Amino acid sequence: MSEPMDPAWVYNETVKMFAIGGDPPHEDPDEMESTWGRVWGLSNDVGQIRTVLMHRPGVEMEIVDPSKRIESIGSYGDLAEHWYFQSEDAPDIPTMQAQHDAFVAALERRGVEVVYQQGVGDRHLKAVYTRDPLIMIKGGAIVNRMGTRIRRGEERVTSQTLAALGVPILRTLSGSAVMEGGSFAWLNDTNCAIGVGVRVNREGARQIGEVLASQGVTLHVIELTGYDIHIDGSFLMIDKDLALVNPMGLPYSFLELLKDLKIDTVEMTPRDDGWIVNGLAAAPGDLLIPEGASDQTLAELDRKGVNVEVIPFDKVHLNGGGLHCSTTPLYRDPV
């Protein structure tokens, strides 16, 4: 009859047998497939979009009361209720919805899976702009902390949506950090940029930089000009090594950085509507933009090999954002 084995020895041998350690990293595609059921996240802003988060304008728009005005900004709004609508006219909700539907249809024609934000409340006036409550990096999401009081609470809705989808939340910003996704951009798979300003502070950038550093990604923090709120008002990657830029809205040091990274640019002209830079690359060189691009800019984009589809979005612009603001890709192909 054999001697009974020491329980402590058995335990230690069992632990060693089933230990797997930290490799491969969380964001490894095979690791994600086996652990999370599918691959989430991205490492660029131009790869083919496979899944995107959006919100169709709805009941939240009904908070706009045409009897309430903030005369100093010439718009409807109520400071006590934390809302404003940037127009001389009340929201045209049916047209906003029709324009949003056309945008969704353009993405679906490209094979993009569109998923919708869940649980949007009746005071989330800006919820159509799904870009801002989160950013997507390799292996999942970072949930932001909104820089404006009128949008606080969207973070909770976003977290609930991500959890329902099974998207890993790699970090939730805390403390004094504020950050909105419209001020984050991938430049290539090892370099990102954050524009700091009135909606994004350095503590928010620092916390995001910690997560990126663990993935071998360098974060470049740039200063936005004046009261610009997001970098996507002046900068958009449209192909692997090509960006559309409004040079008047970017510091020269950032334009130098793009050159150092071998990123070519198409510069907007004074004849362009400013909203065109708030477009979306659905795939490398496949650009969706709103109306308002000049013939000169369209010709330059064509010369660079960029396919352009125009999506009317002017009624959605009146709420304060554009095509880029209205999308958060949850997964893009590598480039």
pLDDT digits (tens, 9 = 90+) for 281-316: 999 999 999 999 999 999 999 999 999 999 999 999
**Average pLDDT value for residue range 94-115:** 98
pLDDT digits (tens, 9 = 90+) for 48-104: 999 999 999 999 999 999 889 888 888 888 888 888 888 888 899 999 999 999 999
pLDDT of residue 5: 72
Confidence class for position 18, pLDDT limits 50, 70, 90: low
Nearest Cα residue to 283 out of 85, 112, 38, 137 = 112
Q: Residue 329 in contact with residue 51, Cβ under 8 Å? A: yes
Element (H, E) at 295: helix 295-303
pLDDT of residue 101: 98
pLDDT of residue 257: 98
Nearest Cα residue to 147 out of 176, 178, 169, 118 = 178
Q: Do the domain assignments include residue 42? A: yes
**Average pLDDT value for residue range 199-204:** 97
Quote the CA–CA distance of 75 and 79 in Å, as a whole number. 12
Nearest Cα residue to 232 out of 185, 177, 273 = 185
pLDDT of residue 141: 98
For residue 171, what are its two tokens?
Answer: 């970090």
Q: Do the domain assignments include residue 209? A: yes
Quote the CA–CA distance of 282 and 239 in Å, as a whole number. 10
Confidence class for position 123, pLDDT limits 50, 70, 90: confident
**Residue burial 269-307, b: 16+ Cβ < 10 Å; e: rest:** eeebbbbbbbbbbbbbbbbbbbebbeeebbebbeeeebe
Q: Residue 229 in contact with residue 235, Cβ under 8 Å? A: no
**Residue burial 152-191, b: 16+ Cβ < 10 Å; e: rest:** ebbbebbbebbeeeebbebbbbeeebbbbbbbbbbbbbeb
Q: Is the predicted pLDDT of residue 4 greater than 80, yes or no? A: no
pLDDT of residue 300: 98
Nearest Cα residue to 316 out of 94, 34, 46, 32 = 94
Q: Do the domain assignments include residue 186? A: yes
Q: Is the predicted pLDDT of residue 259 greater than 70, yes or no? A: yes
Name which residue leads in pLDDT, 122 or 130: 130
pLDDT of residue 17: 60
Amino acid at 183: S
pLDDT of residue 37: 95
SS3 breakdown of the chain: % helix, strand, coil, rounded to 5?
30, 25, 45
pLDDT digits (tens, 9 = 90+) for 141-193: 999 999 998 999 999 999 999 999 999 999 999 999 999 999 999 999 999 99
Q: What is the CATH number of the domain that holds 259?
A: 3.75.10.10
Q: Do the domain assignments include residue 216? A: yes
Q: Residue 324 in contact with residue 275, Cβ under 8 Å? A: no
pLDDT of residue 89: 83
Kindly compute the dihedral angle of the four CA atoms of residues 95, 96, 102, 104, in this order, to the nearest 10 degrees.
-160
pLDDT of residue 10: 65
Confidence class for position 1, pLDDT limits 50, 70, 90: low
CA distances from 269 to 43, 84, 300 (A): 30, 30, 11
Mean pLDDT of the chain: 94
- Domain encompassing residue 100: 27-332
Q: Please give the order of strands across the beta sheet that includes 184-188.
A: 184-188, 191-196, 218-223
**Average pLDDT value for residue range 208-231:** 96
For residue 224, what are its two tokens?
Answer: 């936005």
Identify the residue whose tokens are 């094979």.
Answer: 111
Q: Structurally, how many domains does the chain consist of?
A: 1
Q: Residue 244 in contact with residue 277, Cβ under 8 Å? A: yes
Q: Do the domain assignments include residue 3? A: no
Q: Which of helix, strand or coil describes residue 139?
A: coil
Name which residue leads in pLDDT, 23 or 18: 23
Q: Do the domain assignments include residue 7? A: no
pLDDT of residue 11: 65
pLDDT of residue 2: 64
